[in-house]
Amino acid sequence: MEPSQETPEKSHVLAIIFPLQGHLNPAIQLCKRLVAEQIRVTLLTTASTSRTIQREGFSSDCMAIEIIPDINVVGEDNSDMFEVFFRDYKASITHGVPQIIKKYDNTGIPIKAILYDSASPWIVDVAHANGVKGAVFFTQNCAVSSIFYHLHNGSLELPSDQGCGEILLPGLTAMKLKDLPSLAYDTNSYKAIRRHLIDQFETCGKAEWRLFNTFDKLEHEVLKWMARLYPILAIGPSIPSMYIDKRLQNNYEYGLNLSAPKAESCLQWLDNKQDHSVIYVSFGSLANLDQKQMEELAWGLTDSGCSFIWVVRDPEFTKLPQGFTSSPSKKGLILKWCNQLEVLSHRAVGCFLTHCGWNSTLEALSLGVPMVAMPQWTDQTTNAKLVVDVWQTGVRAEIGEDGIVKKEEIVACVKEVMEGDKGNETRRNALKWKDLARDAISKGGSSDRNIMKFVMELVNSN
């Protein structure tokens, strides 16, 4: 339910979301929850990001958008494109926030807090310098966050051999090196991103609130351990309400996309398929599979004998085997984009072959869809470990010695999930987590109580 125009707003939050789709989606959904509780939300973005945002399905009645100028820091020679982006983004936000706060000071509903992404930990200092409070939002799960906490704190010792030695951390299942986020042990790639992930905890203790896109029963032990360090609030799953608890009417989409192509409808195609007979395949908005892996995946899907929908982004199309887009016409449907929640919630979908990005993983758990995990990098490897060994809602496709998941492995994994006793057990577990996710976010559930706690503390804060 959205607040009516006659209902006075209780407080005002400025939301600053890191400009990546995987960060934007859950944060926008959290903002919609706040708006439903009569909290005014203003989304802050830079001019360059605003030019790429597609607003289909987004209502300005839900939240306002404020745009600040980009600042390009000159005079520093740095060839790392990510470092340059982080530097310029920090300069833009730091310069723009005081102006926006001042703009609303005399409106009758001044900004009381900044909701910011854990990937930008310095924002809490900007908030405090301007007399408002800070609420940090971790868009990855608590398990991954805890691993980066240990890295930041110097309390994680990494074995030198990927296949040897167990890593034991409080609140987590035993892991091998390959189960950690890849940037935890890969110190040579994406150095700027790695440093920013570790630095998430640089200012964590300064924030007035720490919010996580997860729910209590999903990560009970590690949430309990982290709560010994800081007060935390698990407020997930942050997915559109109509797919889980239906409390926010017509909330079928997150609402903002960063240059996403127009979605293609496949519902009529799915309507003609039997229940649980279709594999849905997607590797998110950033994954970049090489040509050999694309070929193995294509022929693995074909050889599985199952119907499938495969989302292949424009840059990946040229990597498909010659003639493949026409040859699987009876069994397969190749799309450039689709509404993932719409597909995952369809009765015909029986399996999600996924890179295990956290949003995709949480959507599958919340909708009761078993998974075949093909993680690529960063937190995806840890999410895959949890899917297989802790939540037991899928299987992991193992990588060959050449670094490629072979078509035979893909066929075996798909059949294990789609057929037989193992598949039935995986589906039962998936449906269990679907019920628990709905219970958490529904009225009176653990996540709903945490959102209301956040709301009440916002309203009553000075």
Parse the chain into domains and list their residue ranges.
11-257+443-460, 261-437
Please check whether residue 364 is in contact with residue 352, taking contact to mean a CB–CB distance below 8 angstroms: yes
State the angle between helix axes of 446-460 and 420-441 in degrees (0 to 180), rounded to the nearest 10: 30
What gap in Å lies between CA 243 and CA 441, rounded to an integer?
Answer: 11
For CA atoms 28, 33, 36, 37, give the dihedral sign.
negative
Q: Looking at the domain 261-437, which fold is it? A: Rossmann fold (3.40.50)
Q: pTM for this one?
A: 0.94
What gap in Å lies between CA 240 and CA 252, rounded to an integer?
Answer: 5
At residue 138, the pLDDT reads: 97
Radius of gyration of the chain (CA): 22
Helix residue spans in 237-317 (DSSP H):
267-271, 291-304
At residue 327, the pLDDT reads: 64
Cα 435 vs. chain centroid, distance in angstroms? 20
DSSP-derived pairing of the beta strands 257-258 and 53-54: antiparallel
At residue 59, the pLDDT reads: 59
At residue 51, the pLDDT reads: 87
At residue 313, the pLDDT reads: 87
- Alpha carbons within 13 angstroms on the beta-carbon side of residue 204 total 25
Please check whether residue 203 is in contact with residue 117, taking contact to mean a CB–CB distance below 8 angstroms: no
Q: Nearest 5°: CA angle at 429, between 424 and 433?
A: 145
At residue 75, the pLDDT reads: 61
pLDDT in tens, the chain (462 residues): 344 445 678 999 999 999 999 999 999 999 999 999 999 999 999 999 988 777 665 655 668 999 999 998 876 666 678 888 899 999 999 999 999 999 999 899 999 999 999 999 999 999 999 999 999 999 999 999 999 999 999 999 887 766 667 899 999 999 999 999 988 888 888 788 888 888 899 999 999 999 999 999 999 999 999 999 999 999 999 999 999 999 998 999 987 787 666 677 799 999 999 999 999 999 988 778 999 999 999 999 999 999 999 999 888 888 999 878 766 556 899 998 899 999 999 999 999 999 999 999 999 999 999 999 999 989 999 999 999 999 999 999 999 999 999 999 999 999 999 987 777 899 999 999 999 999 999 999 999 999 999 999 999 987
Please check whether residue 371 is in contact with residue 283, taking contact to mean a CB–CB distance below 8 angstroms: no
What gap in Å lies between CA 283 and CA 340, rounded to an integer?
Answer: 11
For 379, phi then psi, to 5°, come to -70, -10
DSSP E strand stretches across 255-344: 257-258, 278-282, 307-311, 332-335
For CA atoms 89, 94, 96, 101, give the dihedral sign.
positive
The DSSP 8-state label assigned to residue 195 in this structure reads: H
What gap in Å lies between CA 441 and CA 236, rounded to an integer?
Answer: 7
At residue 413, the pLDDT reads: 96
> Tokens at residue 369, please?
């869809």
**Superfamily designation of domain 11-257+443-460:** Glycogen Phosphorylase B; (3.40.50.2000)
Q: Confirm whether 11-257+443-460 and 261-437 share one CATH topology.
A: yes
What gap in Å lies between CA 351 and CA 344, rounded to an integer?
Answer: 9
Q: How far apart are the first and last CA of the chain?
A: 27
Q: What length does the chain have?
A: 462
Nearest by Cα to 442 from 212, 179, 236: 236
